[in-house]
């Protein structure tokens, strides 16, 4: 199956035509399109405090083995920003206007790789902000094949273009996680499988 056939099966003919033209497809009005567009520019910068990220990881671990998944409250609204291809991998990008809370969704990228689907999410962690005295904490993560990996943290709402560029690197395998954890079957706690000592402080 070539990449256009794959795109057609996942997203339909509009994406195939878009790929042939070399453009991304915006969702049609009334079909999940965004009334409130995500920010094109942002003043947010990356942050690298390991203590802040470990608050998020420990909150995840406290949910136990059966619920070892990043969770967030149901957003008030959610829309599809665009769909695009990274090589032969189809990606659908969604946006929810920022809401404060313990864990809320900002962006969600549904990734359809040949070996399985995954979600790359940008979540706001009110828990990390309060417990760590860290201010605003937005973290970028992917859950794939039983491993949850964090690729970035921001001190404010990141722009869509910046997150999309990171997602493309993740999908291509060019991005290295700051931290990655898993819960091995039968274990009493989660395990750290990756920790970037060069970037995390």
Model confidence pTM above 0.75: yes
- Helix and strand tally (H, E) in the chain? 5, 9
Tokens representing residue 199 in the block? 């970037």
The pLDDT score that the predictor gives to residue 33 is 62
Q: Nearest-CA neighbor of 124 among 106, 142, 145?
A: 106
Choice between 164 and 8, residue whose per-residue pLDDT is larger: 164
Q: Give the residue carrying structure tokens 């990356």.
A: 46
Q: Nearest-CA neighbor of 44 among 156, 125, 193, 134?
A: 156
Give the integer Cα–Cα distance in Å for 9 and 90: 10
The pLDDT score that the predictor gives to residue 14 is 37
The model's pLDDT over 60-109, given as tens digits with 9 standing for 90+, comes to 999 998 899 999 999 999 999 999 999 999 999 999 999 999 999 999 99
Name the β-bridge partners of 105: 123
Q: Where does the pLDDT of residue 161 fall: very low under 50, low under 70, confident under 90, or very high at 90 and above?
A: very high
The model's pLDDT over 139-159, given as tens digits with 9 standing for 90+, comes to 999 999 999 999 999 999 999
């Amino acid at each position: 199956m070539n990449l256009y056939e794959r795109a057609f099966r996942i997203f339909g003919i509009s994406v195939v035509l878009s790929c042939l033209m070399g453009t991304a497809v915006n969702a049609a009005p009334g079909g999940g399109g965004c009334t409130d567009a995500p920010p094109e520019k942002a003043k947010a910068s990356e942050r690298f405090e390991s203590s802040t990220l470990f608050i998020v990881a420990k909150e995840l671990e406290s949910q136990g083995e059966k619920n070892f998944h990043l969770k967030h409250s149901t957003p008030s609204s959610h829309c599809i920003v665009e769909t695009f291809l990274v090589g032969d991998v189809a990606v659908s990008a969604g946006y929810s206007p920022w809401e404060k809370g313990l864990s809320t969704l900002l962006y969600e990228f549904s990734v359809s790789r040949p070996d399985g689907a995954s979600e790359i999410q940008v979540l706001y962690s009110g828990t990390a902000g309060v417990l760590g005295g860290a201010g605003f904490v937005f973290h970028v993560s992917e859950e794939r094949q039983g491993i949850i990996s964090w690729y970035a943290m921001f001190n404010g709402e990141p722009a869509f273009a910046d997150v999309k560029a990171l997602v493309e690197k993740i999908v291509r395998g060019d991005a290295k996680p700051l931290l990655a954890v898993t819960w091995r079957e039968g274990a009493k706690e989660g395990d750290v499988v990756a920790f970037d000592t060069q970037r995390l402080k």
